[in-house]
Amino acid sequence: MLGKTYHHATKHSYQSVQIDPNYVDPSTQPSSVKVYPKFYRRWQLNRQDPIHNFIWLTSAITLEKTYKDVTYQLRVNPSAGALYPTEIYVQMRGIKGIIDGIYHLEIENNCLTLIYELIDDGLENYVTPGKCINGFIFLVSCVYYRSSWKYKNRSLRYCLLDSGHHLGAIAASAYLHDRNTQLIFDFDKLTLNQDLGFENKEFVTGCVISGEAEEKQVRRLRLPIPFVNGTDYFQANSFIEEAYQATSGQISRQQKLADPQFNWQQTQFFESVWYRRSQRRLYKQPISQETYWRIFEDVKQPIPSEHFEEIEIFSVVHRVEGMLPGIYQGRNLIQAGEFSNQTGYLCINQSIAKDCAVTLFFVSDYLSYQTAMQIAGLMGHRVYLVSNYWGIDCSGIGAFYDDEAQAFLGTKKDVLYAMAIGK
């Protein structure tokens, strides 16, 4: 399968990491925000307006942090290396006081930029043919060079995982604003990229619909949208471009649409969304078994999509009160033992994977690579938010020794993502 070919081509091993430790000059980092030219029409987001607040919270900057004279703007959505390759576009139709159109969410300036005004055309033609959506269609895209600048070919994984996290951030804002969501992964991404004017420098990954659908034909965008680069300079990566093109047409497994049933207290959950951080250090402290199972059950709630890839979670329990340390597959202990040193080693000797309470590994035997990676990222986002909700911390881990992790877990499925939770 093509997806597996590209995933396997980006594997880490002890030898590969030693040969290429991947040092970069931080002064050469490309810009992490996309801004359309000044003549485009803009509307400042007003947080007192519920619609504006809903859109704002999908991508809000929550903290500015300075490290070695460089200021980083941290956001509601985590990103590998805080490089933020993802962008958000939202089509609004039938929203009172807002022009029907496609908007770019300009994160740095906290505004919506109108890039296309609708008549009888729209994004529905590409993502849900035969239907017209009165409400919102969110598109997540990746400006891949922001990530490949540092992570080279493996950034293919990080772009898709980051896209899944951003889909999770949209879903979290929808929950807080009592709005329905449906995720769409299988759609005509390549034609949409072309019509949005992305050239080879940006690509659409996922879609979220929030609104009411009516049976109505909406035609393809009638006019081209001018190209605007999402970085101040660009270096092409032929591997990533080829991998995206080759995997965009893969059809996901299908499932019956079902909504998750969360019961989070709104104020407390908002605080989890707002204060979520990737922790770089965890202490060797236990968490309660009740907290662990609450996290696990919420993460396994349904994904509201007809397109799906099964993600299986292996938990390597180190410090959970009342649970034997060892490797668990779901609720089943498959091998008892103290494995903290092994998980630390497998995750490229990162101490968080050794000192945490539980190390999680997400694995899948997928049909659609893009769908599987994004669902892994979305589930990872749930881990972040639910962990914080229940008073513990979390960090995503995208770097691990692939083949050794598979052998350690005793699975032939691809390892897509790892996470550490603890205090």
Q: pLDDT tens for residues 256-267?
A: 999 999 999 999
Residue 211 has a pLDDT of 97
Tell me the chain's radius of gyration from C-alpha atoms. 21
Residue 247 has a pLDDT of 98
Residue 10 has a pLDDT of 97
**Spatial distance between the Cα atoms of 156 and 237, rounded to a whole number of angstroms:** 10
Outline where 198-323 has alpha helix (H). 238-247, 266-275, 289-299
- Average pLDDT rounded to a whole number, residues 208-233: 96
Residues 6+ apart with CB under 8 A from 291: 390, 391, 392
Given a cut of 80, whether residue 312 has pLDDT beyond it is yes
* DSSP-based helix, strand, coil % in the chain, nearest 5: 35, 25, 40
Unique residue bearing structure tokens 């008073």: 391
Average the pLDDT over each of 12-21, 339-348, 356-365 and give the range with the smallest value.
Answer: 12-21
- Global confidence as pTM: 0.97
Letter for the amino acid at 2? L
The CATH homologous superfamily to which domain 26-249 belongs is NADH Oxidase (3.40.109.10)
Which of these, 162, 138, 165, lies nearest to 150 by C-alpha position? Answer: 162
φ, ψ dihedrals at 393, nearest 5°: -115, 175
- Angle, CA of 228, 231 and 232, to the nearest 5°: 100
The CATH homologous superfamily to which domain 277-422 belongs is NADH Oxidase (3.40.109.10)
Given a cut of 80, whether residue 239 has pLDDT beyond it is yes
CB 158 within 8 A of CB 168: no
Q: How confident is the model at residue 223 (pLDDT cuts 50, 70, 90)?
A: very high
- Average pLDDT rounded to a whole number, residues 198-227: 96
3-state secondary structure of 388: helix
Residue 1 has a pLDDT of 66
Given a cut of 90, whether residue 3 has pLDDT beyond it is no
CB 318 within 8 A of CB 359: yes
Q: What percent of the chain has pLDDT over 70?
A: 100
The distance from CA 40 to its chain's CA centroid, rounded to whole angstroms, is: 28
Residue 226 has a pLDDT of 92
- Average pLDDT rounded to a whole number, residues 172-198: 97
Burial (CB count within 10 angstroms: exposed 0-12, middle 13-18, buried 19+), residue 7: buried
Strands 414-422 and 182-184, how do they pair?
unpaired
Residues 6+ apart with CB under 8 A from 103: 89, 90, 91, 92, 112, 113, 114, 115
> Which tokens belong to 22?
């991947």
User: Which residue(s) pair with 88 in the sheet?
Assistant: 140
Residue 19 has a pLDDT of 84
Averaged confidence pLDDT in the chain? 96
3-state secondary structure of 28: helix
Q: How confident is the model at residue 155 (pLDDT cuts 50, 70, 90)?
A: very high
What are the tens digits of pLDDT across the range 49-107?
A: 999 999 999 999 999 887 777 777 899 999 999 999 999 999 999 999 999 999 999 99
Given a cut of 80, whether residue 129 has pLDDT beyond it is yes
User: Which residue(s) pair with 308 in the sheet?
Assistant: 253
Letter for the amino acid at 375? I
- Average pLDDT rounded to a whole number, residues 362-378: 98
26-249 with 277-422: one CATH topology?
yes
Residue 280 has a pLDDT of 85
Sequence ranges of the domains in the chain: 26-249, 277-422
